[in-house]
Structure 1
Amino acid sequence: MSTFRHSDALWADFPQLVPGVLHVESFREAYDLTEYLETAERRLDGTTETQLPEIQAWRRAYTQLGLKPTQYRCASEALLRRFRKEKVLPRIHPVIDLCNAVSMAYAIPVAVLDLARISGDLEVRYATGDEEYLTFGGEIENPQPGEVVFADDAGQAHARRWTNRQSGLSAVREGTETVLIVAEALHETAAEDVKSLVSTLEKELAHPRAAILDRASPEFTV
């Protein structure tokens, strides 16, 4: 992989977008998630994830894209919904567990991608419909034309419906050595919140390269 960016068309339709990106080449065997889970629990006290401004902004975006927010939830909403009901965070992989916990604390979707599985550049853009998406069940799907995907130069879709679901192809697993972490927000205080989220991950991870992107500087070089 060489670069990560959002397409000009996506910036035009969602000028409020604030992406934070980190390139990580090493991680620990485990992280202390207590602080982040306690923050998520406090934020959900007496309310639901759907009332949080970060989630409401994504619901508006999904509606703008022609998707039903109750049918397709952004990743942070899905995590918080499960956490509110079960009070636990399933453990998958140390870096995924960390990013999921931080995602819930900030209510901001965070994607974690295995860089070795990405071919060439990666762009968040509207799908043509020819891209191929590998499900976790091993099936190949083609996104709908106009759907927002994370697409690489080989036409592989590494996420569908923007922040709704990642691909099984670039999922982090045992043996993963280098990852790309992408946090995206659309709410009113997104600029300061994404900056704080990225700073939090920088403190937890070992010397990552990080950047906050915008419409004027939309590209992150790996």
Structure 2
Amino acid sequence: MITISLHPDLQKYVPSFKIGCIQYESIIIDSPPKELKGRIELFQKTVELDLSEQPITYYEGVKEWRQVFKQIGADPTRYRPSHEALFRRLKQGKGLPSSDSSAIVLNNFFSLYYQMPIGLYDLEQVQGPVEVRTGKDTDEYEGLNGRINHMKGKITNVDHYGAFGSPMVDSKHSAVSSNTKHILQLLYLRPSLSENDAHALTDNIGEMFQQVHGGHVETAVLSKHRPEIK
């Protein structure tokens, strides 16, 4: 697995901060299988029904990640975690973002189902080592939202060349395409998860993603007990 580390400053703000790391090799990205699309559509309808009567904070994972942003020093009403943005789309009747990529469709489903942000990165566009830390003045990138995202004081993934992703939005540079064969998936795990549950969830997501895309998978969890993997 590519070298990934968790900066200790993050755990000063959030002592139980954890990142699930999954690396996939030799995968094949295609259109989502019909069975997968059907399951996601059913889940989407359930969420839309819930949100027709409940606020976004009905979901514990939304409340928890808002609190993480506050503890880091980022305003969660101005900078929204990516899974909250997905829930908001469903509450507003916009549906999930349209995509013919099995990887992106499945990633969005995991993010909603497990109520946490999840980043997906083309490993051929990432030059290790990778560090997850709070952003500095110079950390910025063009995001998938079409804007230049300034990452000072926000949770940021940084490689040899600079910032390339976050729990809010990922960069165009490291985006996964239909030609991507090697992926780094970062799970911004809910801090309330125990160490054992964090490992089990990371392994489970890696296995389910591999079932759809083939290839090889390797998983690990970054935490105060293991702040770096190689």
TM-score by length of 1: 0.84
State the number of aligned residues. Answer: 217
Between stretches 188-197 and 83-92, larger displacement belongs to: 188-197
Is 2:215 the partner of 1:178?
Answer: no
Measure the CA separation in 2 of the matches of 1:157 and 1:193. 25
Pairwise CA distance, 1:121: 0.8
Residue 81 of structure 1 is matched in structure 2 by 88
* Match for residue 126 of structure 2 among 118, 122, 132: 118
Counterparts of 1:55 and 1:190, CA distance in 2: 18
Query: For residue 68 of structure 1, what is the aligned residue in structure 2?
Result: 75
Alignment of 1:160-199 (within 5 A): 162-189=166-193, 191=195, 192=197, 195-196=200-201, 198-199=203-204
Contact 1:102-1:197 at 8 Å conserved across structures: no
Q: Are the aligned partners of 1:120 and 1:153 in contact in 2 as well (CA < 8 Å)?
A: yes
Q: SS where residue 195 of structure 1 aligns?
A: helix
User: How far 1:97 sits from its partner (Å)?
Assistant: 1.0
Task: Say whether 1:106 aligns with 2:134.
Answer: no
Selected match of 2:223 from 206, 214, 220 = 214
Q: 1:151 aligns to what?
A: 158
Partner-residue secondary structure (3-state), 1:34: helix
**Cα–Cα, structure 1 residues 118 and 204, in superposed 2: closer, same or farther, change >3 Å?**
closer
1:204 aligns with 2:213: no
Q: Which runs of 5+ in 2 are unaligned?
A: none
> 1:11-37, CA deviations, whole angstroms, 9 ceiling, x for partnerless residues?
232122232111112034224143345
Equivalent-residue separation in structure 1 for 2:3 and 2:125 (angstroms): 14
**Cα-to-partner distance string for 1:138-188 (whole Å, 9 max, x where unaligned):** 7755532x332111122x2112xx411111110112322211011112343
The more displaced of 100-109 and 48-57 is: 48-57
2:42 to 38, 62, 71: 38
Where does residue 28 of structure 2 map in the other structure? 27
**What is the aligned counterpart of 1:135 among 143, 149, 161?**
143
Structure 1 residues 32-51: Cα deviation after superposition (integer angstroms, max 9, x where no partner): 14334534543561423322
Query: Is this contact kept in 1: 2:83–2:111, CA < 8 A?
Result: yes
1:68 positional shift? 2.3
CA contact (8 A) 2:121 2:176 kept: yes
Deviations 1:100-125 (A, max 9, x none): 01111111111101111112211111
Between 206-215 and 163-172, report the one with greater CA deviation.
206-215
Residues 40 and 130 (structure 1), Cα distance of their counterparts in 2 relative to 1, 3 Å cut: same
CA-to-partner distance for each residue in 1:52-80, whole Å, 9 max, x for gaps?
11111111121223332222110111111
CA–CA distance in structure 1, aligned partners of residues 83 and 73 of structure 2: 20
Out of 164-173 and 10-19, give the one that drifted further.
10-19
Q: Where do 5+ consecutive residues of structure 1 fail to align?
A: none
> What's the % identity of the aligned pairs?
25
Structure 1: 4+ residue segments shifted above 6 A = none
Q: Which amino acid aligns with 1:86?
A: G
